[in-house]
Structure 1
Amino acid sequence: MKRFLLSLGLACGLAACGDGTARYIIDPPKPETQVRLRLASIELKDLVLPAHASGPDVMIQSEDGSIVVLGDADWADEPARAYTDRLARSLDEGSTATVAAEPWPLFDRAQAQLVVRIDRMLARADGQFELSAQVAVTSADQVVRDRIERYSVTTPLPSADASGVSSATGAALDLLSDRILAMLRGL
């Protein structure tokens, strides 16, 4: 009986340790069409994020320009991994190529690699969500020529809360995916 009560007390104590923070995920992409690519397979390297977008907190820009934490709201997954997986899925479903995040899961290596370095990913105070990045494509087998492009996309911020930031983040990643696919189509 003592063991049962001790276990019950421990369980209640651990339950009380929960911080009540809401966790947010980015919804999966909804590609409208598939872009035909010369590449059959693409490995997306882990996205490189700026400090303001790499932490667990959902952030938003305040009226004075500072970037602040949105109350009790965190991302449900580590941001770099979540954004990488989301972009890989968007590229995969939006093209004829097989796209996967690193490490490449297949025996034969991918025909090309994408490196995406995000330098700005921000829910702005003006009601827009901004994402700017440098995108490099490289092909060890020279299936396509190496190239570096810079992209900047904005999308409306549906609301100034964590749900709105989550929704706008997904929309911005979809816009970035569209730009990357247009670049890859032209190679």
Structure 2
Amino acid sequence: MMKLPLPLLLVSVLAACGTAPGYQLQVQPTEARYATAARTIMVREISLPDYATDDTMARQNAAGAVEVMSRVRWADLQPRAVTLALSRQLNAMLSATVAPEPWPLSGLPDGEVDVRVDRILAGADGLFHLDGVYYVRAEGVSLGVPSRDFAITVPLPGEEPAQIAAAQSTAVAQLATQIARSVSR
């Protein structure tokens, strides 16, 4: 009988159990373009509530509590996924080059966007909610108001994970539009 090393044995057992499908955020196509005084902007890793910091998908139940959906996973950890989606959306909309933290380009960015989310959740009210505040810091250029609150709601066509993922993608795209407008000239 062949003995497998413990790490290989664990991987084999986990693979045999099967995994839940992973859902990912989609960057929304846009034709909107905004000119900004910055040449480069960095999006800091987005701060999310505890229930949204790993790869589990959560929603609000009828009693108002946040519950983790069983056997439903995001394809990536949410802080990273939302940061990347927002960065790509902003990069498509702004005249500046936008990239996520850690800064992958040479030199320092002209500006930074720091997003702190209070709620990112499929609500029991049939809406997807994305609420929080974002901060804009700039060196040597004007990027408008240094902070703004946001409260975005997107209709949920249903409670299926794919519908929640689509609504979250739309909400992140709407946040990108708000940020792009606020940092434009």
Distance in 2, Cα, partners of 1:153 & 1:34: 21
User: Which residue does 2:151 correspond to in 1?
Assistant: 152
Gaps of 5+ in 2: none
- For 2:103, the aligned partner's letter is W
Aligned: 1:15 with 2:12: no
TM-superposed deviation, 1:67: 1.1
Change (3 A) 1:183 1:19: same
Aligned: 1:135 with 2:134: yes
Gaps of 5+ in 1: none
Moved over 2 A (4+): 10-15, 140-146
Q: How does 1:45-60 map to 2 (within 5 A)?
A: 45-60=44-59
Distance in 2, Cα, partners of 1:13 & 1:181: 47
User: Which residue does 1:25 correspond to in 2?
Assistant: 24
C-alpha RMSD of matched pairs (Å): 2.2
State the TM-score, normalized to the length of structure 2: 0.89
- Between the two proteins, the alignment pairs up a number of residues equal to 182
Change (3 A) 1:121 1:15: closer
**8 Å CA contact retained: 2:57, 2:73:** yes
User: Which residue does 1:95 correspond to in 2?
Assistant: 94
**8 Å CA contact retained: 2:42, 2:103:** yes
- For 2:161, the aligned partner's letter is A
User: Cα deviation per residue 1:29-62 (whole Å; 9 max; x = unaligned)?
Assistant: 2112211222111000000011122232111111
Larger radius of gyration: 1
User: Cα deviation per residue 1:118-176 (whole Å; 9 max; x = unaligned)?
Assistant: 11111001110010121111113344466111111111112202111111110000010
Change (3 A) 1:20 1:104: closer
- For 1:118, the aligned partner's letter is V
**8 Å CA contact retained: 1:70, 1:161:** no
Deviating more after overlay: 149-158 vs 77-86: 149-158
Q: How does 1:97-116 map to 2 (within 5 A)?
A: 97-116=96-115
Deviating more after overlay: 87-96 vs 20-29: 20-29
TM-superposed deviation, 1:70: 1.8
Secondary structure of the structure 1 residue equivalent to 2:116: strand
TM-superposed deviation, 1:106: 1.2
User: Which residue does 2:165 correspond to in 1?
Assistant: 166
